[in-house]
């Protein structure tokens, strides 16, 4: 009588694990590499960060965020077709953004906020001075003066390295006054996992 061999079930467990990973990375978290020094000293070039996607729907002043700057800080590209379009669609589904202009900045103003910076370089939000303890020592909130009311459905963002950041201040004269549509926010930055010597939560 032939002896029956136990069925190998590991391929199914492997497949389920991969599917869960795709769902987790595509819908819940995503990883990014910081491309510039615009967020120094909070973040540095080459830092690898984890972005919490549900956080995009519950933003607060001071949050670190990643957003898609196409059409806001950079010209919106034409929608790719053919193979390029397919690659982008698959990449997005897998949580890997392909060929998009993603920025890391700090939320300064929410919809309806009145933001001003005068010649003294002090940031005022709704008439109250903001203590920006995350800025480099001796750096003012902004060398650029502005007075703006953040439109509905949009946010005003700046980098922590105020003298070397392409942010909302650089686009005050553009439609929307340099503000970012909330639906282009990918998520909030929650954790830095590289380099290992600097790993930990971020705020």
CA distance 103 to 90: 21
* One pLDDT digit (tens) per residue for the chain, 203 residues: 555 555 555 676 666 655 665 556 666 888 999 999 999 999 999 999 999 999 999 999 999 999 999 888 876 554 444 554 454 445 444 444 444 589 999 999 999 999 999 999 999 999 999 999 999 888 999 999 999 999 999 999 999 999 999 999 999 999 889 999 999 999 999 999 999 999 999 87
Question: Residue 13 falls within a domain, yes or no?
Answer: no
Find the CATH number of the domain harbouring 150.
Answer: 2.10.109.10
Does the annotation mark 142 as catalytic?
no
pTM of the predicted protein model:
0.80
Residue 166 lies in a domain: yes
3-class SS at 47?
A: coil
- Is 53 part of the annotated catalytic residue set? no
Its domain, for residue 99, covers: 32-201
Provide CB contacts within 8 A for 84, sequence distance 6+: 99
- List Cβ neighbours of 93 (8 Å cut-off, separation of 6 or more): 22, 26
Q: Is residue 130 part of a domain?
A: yes
> Distance (Å, rounded) from C-alpha 96 to C-alpha 79?
17
Which of these is catalytic: 105, 142, 165, 168?
Answer: 105
Choose the catalytic residue: 38, 141, 142, 165. Answer: 38
């Amino acid at each position: 009588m032939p002896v029956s061999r136990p069925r190998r079930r590991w391929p199914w467990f492997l497949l389920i694990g991969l599917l869960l990973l795709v769902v987790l990375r595509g819908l819940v978290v995503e990883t990014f590499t910081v491309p510039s020094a615009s967020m120094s000293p909070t973040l540095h070039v080459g830092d690898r960060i984890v972005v919490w996607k549900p956080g995009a729907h519950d933003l607060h002043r001071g949050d670190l965020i990643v957003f898609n700057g196409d059409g806001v800080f950079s010209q919106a590209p034409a929608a790719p077709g053919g193979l390029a379009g397919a690659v982008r669609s698959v990449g997005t589904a897998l949580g890997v953004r392909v060929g998009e202009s993603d920025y890391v900045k700090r939320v300064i103003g929410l919809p309806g906020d009145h933001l001003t910076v005068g010649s003294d370089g002090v940031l005022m939000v709704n008439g109250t001075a903001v203590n920006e303890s995350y800025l480099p020592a001796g750096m003012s909130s902004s060398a650029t003066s502005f007075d703006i009311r953040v439109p509905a459905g949009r946010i005003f963002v700046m980098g922590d390295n105020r003298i070397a950041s392409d942010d909302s201040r650089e686009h005050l004269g553009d439609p929307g006054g340099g503000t970012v549509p909330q639906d282009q926010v990918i998520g909030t930055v929650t954790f830095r996992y590289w380099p290992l010597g600097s790993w930990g939560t971020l705020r």
